[in-house]
Structure 1
Amino acid sequence: MGERKIVFRNEEIRYRVRNEDGIETILMLHAAFADSSLFQDQVAYFEGDYRIVLIDLPGHGTNSGLSNRITLKDMPEICCSILSEHRIQSCHLLGISLGSLVAQAFADQYPNQVKSVTMVGGYSVHKANKAILRAQKKEGLKWMLLVLFSMKRFKRYLLSVSCHTERGKRLFEQGIQAFSRRSFSSMSGMNSFLVPKSAPMPYPLFIVVGEHDLLLARQAALELHRLESRSRMATIAGAGHCANADAPEEFNTLYRGFISAL
């Protein structure tokens, strides 16, 4: 799938590119603990018309072997370096859960390189996020206890809360194989993404949530949509947290409609 490498701070960052001839580019950023295989159905659907760039987060997938000097905090700069390598001036950003936070951080730091941001199962790094951040801290403690006793139990738990359908769970399980205890050290730096802003975002924003995602996540999506008057929002039936993997046909249709109308 167009495997590429770029050197970033003396480390090799691996990524994939499909359809170099695509006029517009979609940069896809996966959920925590999974990898870019979570976008299998999106790649198959969009690669005929768009250039697709997929980057596994530090500690995940093909980048699970990076040293802990490279962390989530570096992802916006890594994305910028890859776009520059391919002379891509601007792109659509599609982020799932944690990937949506990276997408927003990139958009905040490199606003001129952004055509749109789509967040699936995510929340704003700028506003309406206090309740969900508190809940995340509690969830993090649960993760620590599970990891302490068994990585297998931890991964089973993640599968149960990340996807609602068997198809989605298979994709998530495929991506989670490379994640290890060592990977956690690469997940630091997320707090650097949190930049309070009350003004509306300057880019087209599409907020997607699965009907079976946590109530708190659905409420956060609704509140963000209310605050971002120019945003679009969709709730996907039959889908959980990673709605793109749970209900790919509906998601792909909605997403194509969003970016093609811009």
Structure 2
Amino acid sequence: MQQFKLDFSPIVYYTSGKDCSEWVLFLHAAFVNYKMFQPQIKYFENKYNILAVDIIGHGKSTDTKKGDCVEKMSAWIYDIMNAEKIKKIHIVGISLGAVLAQDFANRYPEAVNSLACFGGYDINNFDKKMQKENGTSQIRMMLKAFVSIKWFAKANKKISAFSPQAQNDFYDMNIQFPKKSFLYLASLNSMVNVFQTKSRKYPLLIGCGKFDIPMELQAVEDWKSREPQLKVAIFENAGHCVNMDMPQKFNEVMEEFWENTKNYL
């Protein structure tokens, strides 16, 4: 992967290949970086042009200025697409990445070839009770991080992944997350329940792991009830970060989804 950064943006991004006809954007979960998609990048880099980013405050995207926050991610991604001359793209988001993927699709629907969200929820219809429960859980985890990033990472890996290998890989990335970067995530709720879902001109795939938290499984079920035409993938031996727990199965699901996208009307 080649590394780039636009002069007016804090976001470091990575590309692989530019000889394929279609582009894929990978948006990672909170507290890690683009490397959580290494199995996908390796698998797809000869079939699709790959674009991956480090979300603000994560990985190498820490050269920020006053006012920079996660709410600006969609605009920064759109700027990157323009710089790379990408008109439309398949978007894959995991957890935090699923929130950002939806926000981008809300703001720039004409730039979306397909949308795939895992370990996330419908940001246009997020139940208030569920939102409060999610916020309370996040605050508890943040308090652990402020005491000790190692304590936080050890607890977080068990929530974020199911298999021992995926948990260890998640921990190795999480341990590098700077405490100050929590500030960049403070505006995350400003993306929730802002837009109304319009008729989608692109296919949507959602899902999670069977061993994700019950609230996530309920969120997937509720989303499906509102948009019956979307596709759902539940991964049997996975937790929150399904692409890390079951990389091969995840790759197969995505490949089939993108192939079917070509026939989408």
Shorter chain as denominator, the TM-score bin is: over 0.9
How far residue 61 of structure 1 moved from its aligned partner, in angstroms, is: 0.6
Aligned length in residues: 260
Name which of structure 1's ranges 18-27 and 192-201 shifts more when overlaid on structure 2. Answer: 192-201
Identify the range of structure 1 (147-156 vs 115-124) with the bigger mean alpha-carbon deviation: 147-156
The 5 A counterparts of 1:23-62 are: 23-62=21-60
Query: 2:228 matched to 1:229?
Result: yes
Query: Structure 1, residues 35-60: CA drift from partner, whole Å, max 9, x if none?
Result: 11110111011111101101011100
Q: For 1:12-31, what aligned pairs fall within 5 Å after superposition?
A: 12-31=10-29
Greater Cα offset, 188-197 or 232-241:
188-197
Whole-angstrom distance in 2 between the partners of 1:55 and 1:180: 17
Unaligned runs of 5+ in 1: none
Query: CA contact under 8 A between 2:150 and 2:175: conserved in structure 1?
Result: no
What is the match of residue 77 of structure 1?
Answer: 75
Shift of 1:196: 4.4
Could you say which residue in structure 2 is the equivalent of 1:217? 216
Distance in 2 separating the partners of 1:73 and 1:198: 19
Deviation at 1:22, TM superposition (A): 1.9
Matched, 1:2 2:5: no
Q: Measure how far apart 1:131 and its partner are.
A: 3.5
Distance across 2 between alignment mates of 1:135 and 1:260: 37
Map 1:235-254; keep pairs closer than 5 Å: 235-254=234-253
SS in structure 1 opposite 2:11?
Answer: strand
Q: Map Cα deviations across residues 114-154 of structure 1 (whole Å, 9 max, x no partner).
A: 01110010011111433331112111221232123222111
Q: How far 1:200 sits from its partner (Å)?
A: 4.8
Paired AA for residue 161 in structure 2: C
What is the CA distance between 1:68 and its match in structure 2?
Answer: 5.1
1:172 maps to 170
Does the Cα contact within 8 Å between 1:132 and 1:217 map onto a contact in 2?
no
Partners of 1:68 and 1:21 in 2: CA distance: 38
Please give the per-residue CA displacement for 1:43-98, whole angstroms capped at 9, x wherever unaligned: 01111110110101110011134345321111000110000001100000100001
Distance 2:54 2:36 in 1: 10
The farther-off stretch of 185-194 and 63-72 is: 63-72
Q: CA deviation at 1:163?
A: 0.4
Alignment of 1:79-98 (within 5 A): 79-98=77-96
Is contact 1:37–1:171 with CA below 8 Å preserved after alignment? no
The one-letter code matched in structure 2 to 1:114 is V
Asked whether the equivalents of residues 100 and 120 of structure 1 are also in contact (C-alpha less than 8 Å), the reply is: yes
Classify the secondary structure of the residue corresponding to 2:6.
strand
Q: What root-mean-square deviation, in Å, do the aligned CA atoms of Structure 1 and Structure 2 show?
A: 1.5
- Using the alignment, how far apart are the partners of 1:128 and 1:5 within structure 2? 33
CA deviation map 1:3-26 (0-9, x unaligned): 111122xx5421100011121000
Q: How many Å separate the matches in 2 of 1:170 and 1:46?
A: 24
Q: Residue type matched to 2:213 in 1?
A: L
Question: Which range moves more in the overlay, 63-72 or 31-40?
Answer: 63-72
Distance 2:243 2:59 in 1: 18
Deviates more, 1:50-59 or 1:174-183: 174-183
Residues 116-195 of structure 1 mapped to structure 2, 5 A cutoff = 116-194=114-192, 195=194
Paired with 1:176 and 1:83, the residues of 2 have a C-alpha distance of 27
Rounded Cα–Cα distance in structure 2 between residues aligned with 1:198 and 1:89: 22
The alignment partner of 2:60 has SS state of helix
